[in-house]
């Protein structure tokens, strides 16, 4: 009896599991049928749409839908500034297109963008700097915009963007975005201190005069000179002009090997080591990016390598000294300025590339990019609006008119960031006085060649 009753109970349990299994199988079948019908629907619809559009082409198709736009912040009010551009876009170009704006964090933007692209549904439009976009282009996640930017209807606008900016956006046989903004790495000088030391007119005549000026300016309270020194602060921006002025670059002209060659490059490196070991700078690695600028704004650094967006800060909170912007002194083979540039690209995975392209054209148009550049103190690469910008901002006018034309940007190689990060600890070590210029250049080249070798 016991066994029988148990048997019956097990049969009841068995019934339960059978019903559950049947329900599960039914659910699977239903799901599979649903997917099939959806897939089938898509497959069926797509050719219809294509055939319809080819049979009855609409010359001015109404744009609609939602596109995503992501950008690193250039201001604490970035979202507000972007909303202005987006509002104008809706009002003037595409009323039925919604633009979702979001920002990435600069210190981790490569990781954020990698994750977004890997997700398969990245924002349609991205603001990408020349340091990182080549690796994304190489991976095939950016849309080649060659046909779009060469559209005859946009030719006039295209011609207003500087050729050197297009050179930075056209790599690996494609065009990966529309150049819109530039960030020049300038020098801030405390004119009051320099005048008091009697070096205001001579400090930037040569490297030697800059070192001498830094020494004469240094006191218990003031550092004569400072530049960024850590990779976390992208310190290579401040290092680049001296190397460019010596005729060198990270990569050779054909990008096949290290380009830090020649005695002038070694001498430039030695000068940078000398100025960092002369006791005229804050202790190496002791002050971060923002800290350096804060020290300058407090009158405690006389000559500071930094970035133009800080001009906004100095204009809004004027320090109690006169200041100005400048470039590094001339070297034996040039008098360049470092700058890096941002392009607006389209994700290959975007399913609304038409709207994305319209938005990029709108963003890159003179009124929009000009207004934004003024709002955040960045430089434009359009030649037609240079004279109209920064009318009330003397420092920015100087940057835009005197420094931007001298810009020599970086080499947009897919591994340029990795090469710089691999080589930079050598520079940090050298700035601590542990290496000569010759040793530093040799070790940097070994690191760079190691990256290129894969």
Sites of contact with other proteins (CB under 8 A) = 1-4, 7, 10, 13-14, 17, 108, 110-111, 114-115, 117-118, 135-136, 138-141, 230-232, 282-287, 291, 295, 415, 417-418, 421-422, 425, 428-429, 432
Minimum Å distance from CB 116 to other proteins? 10
- Rounded to whole angstroms, the Cα distance separating 150 from 398 reads 32
Minimum Å distance from CB 294 to other proteins? 10
| Alpha carbons within 13 A on the beta-carbon side of 452 | 19
Question: Nearer Cβ to other proteins, position 205 or 294?
Answer: 294
Minimum Å distance from CB 155 to other proteins? 32
Minimum Å distance from CB 175 to other proteins? 19
Minimum Å distance from CB 260 to other proteins? 18
Question: Nearer Cβ to other proteins, position 110 or 314?
Answer: 110
Minimum Å distance from CB 124 to other proteins? 17
Sign, Cα dihedral of 286, 289, 291, 292: positive
Question: Nearer Cβ to other proteins, position 3 or 62?
Answer: 3
Sequence-ordered list of residues with C-beta below 8 angstroms from that of 243, at least 6 positions apart, any chain? 249, 250, 260, 265, 268, 269
140 Ramachandran zone, left/alpha/beta (phi>0; psi -120 to 50): left
- Rounded to whole angstroms, the Cα distance separating 168 from 179 reads 8
Minimum Å distance from CB 107 to other proteins? 8
Helical residues (DSSP H) of 303-386, grouped into ranges: 310-316, 353-363, 366-376
Torsion, CA 28, CA 31, CA 36, CA 39, rounded to 10: -140
Question: Nearer Cβ to other proteins, position 278 or 295?
Answer: 295
Report yes or no: 123 and 100 within 8 Å, Cβ to Cβ: yes
Minimum Å distance from CB 68 to other proteins? 18
Question: Nearer Cβ to other proteins, position 302 or 417?
Answer: 417
Length of the chain: 454
| Alpha carbons within 13 A on the beta-carbon side of 97 | 29
Rounded to 5°, angle at Cα 183 from 393 and 93:
85
Question: Nearer Cβ to other proteins, position 95 or 107?
Answer: 107
Question: Nearer Cβ to other proteins, position 123 or 331?
Answer: 123
Question: Nearer Cβ to other proteins, position 98 or 289?
Answer: 289
Report yes or no: 168 and 339 within 8 Å, Cβ to Cβ: no
Minimum Å distance from CB 40 to other proteins? 28
Long-range contact list for 351-357, CB < 8 A, 24+ apart?
352/65, 352/66, 352/67, 352/124, 353/124, 353/143, 354/61, 354/63, 355/63, 355/64, 355/65, 355/67, 355/94, 355/97, 355/124, 356/67, 356/124, 356/125, 357/145, 357/148
């Amino acid at each position: 009896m016991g066994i029988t009753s148990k048997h019956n109970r097990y049969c009841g349990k068995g019934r339960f599991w059978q019903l559950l299994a049947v329900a599960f199988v039914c659910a699977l079948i239903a799901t599979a049928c649903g997917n099939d019908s959806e897939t089938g629907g898509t497959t069926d619809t797509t050719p219809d749409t294509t055939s319809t559009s080819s049979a009855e082409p609409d010359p001015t198709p109404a744009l609609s839908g939602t596109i995503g736009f992501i950008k690193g912040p250039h201001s604490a009010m970035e979202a507000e500034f972007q909303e202005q551009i987006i509002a104008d876009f809706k009002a003037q170009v595409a009323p039925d297109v919604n633009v979702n704006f979001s920002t990435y964090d600069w210190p981790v933007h490569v990781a954020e963008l990698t994750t977004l692209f890997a997700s398969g549904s990245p924002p349609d439009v991205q603001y990408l700097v020349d340091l990182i976009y080549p690796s994304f282009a190489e991976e095939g996640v950016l849309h080649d915009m060659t046909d779009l930017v060469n559209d005859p209807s946009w030719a006039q606008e295209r011609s207003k963007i500087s050729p050197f900016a297009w050179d930075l956006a056209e790599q690996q046989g494609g065009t990966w975005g529309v150049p819109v903004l530039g960030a020049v790495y300038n020098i801030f000088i405390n004119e009051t201190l320099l005048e008091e030391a009697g070096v205001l007119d001579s400090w930037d005549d040569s490297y030697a005069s800059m070192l001498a000026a830094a020494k004469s300016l240094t006191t218990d309270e003031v550092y004569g000179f400072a530049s960024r020194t850590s990779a976390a602060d992208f310190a290579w921006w401040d290092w680049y002009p001296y190397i460019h002025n010596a005729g060198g670059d990270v990569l050779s002209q054909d990008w096949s090997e290290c380009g830090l060659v020649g005695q002038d490059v070694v001498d430039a490196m030695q000068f940078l080591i000398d100025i960092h070991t002369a006791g005229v700078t804050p202790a190496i690695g002791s002050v971060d990016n923002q800290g350096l600028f804060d020290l300058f704004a407090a009158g405690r650094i006389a000559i500071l390598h930094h970035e133009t967006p800080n001009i906004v800060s100095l204009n809004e909170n004027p320090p109690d000294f006169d200041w100005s912007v400048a470039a590094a002194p001339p070297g034996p083979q040039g008098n360049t300025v470092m700058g890096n540039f941002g392009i607006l690209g389209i994700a290959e995975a975007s399913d609304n590339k038409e709207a994305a392209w319209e938005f990029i054209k709108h963003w890159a148009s003179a009124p929009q990019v000009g207004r934004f550049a003024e709002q955040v103190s960045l430089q434009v690469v359009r030649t037609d609006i240079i004279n109209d910008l920064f009318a009330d901002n003397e420092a920015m006018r100087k940057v835009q008119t005197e420094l931007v034309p001298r810009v020599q940007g970086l080499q947009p190689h897919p591994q340029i960031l990795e090469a710089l990060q691999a080589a930079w600890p050598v520079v940090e070590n050298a700035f601590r006085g542990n290496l000569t210029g010759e040793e530093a250049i040799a070790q940097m080249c070994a690191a760079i060649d190691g990256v290129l070798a894969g």
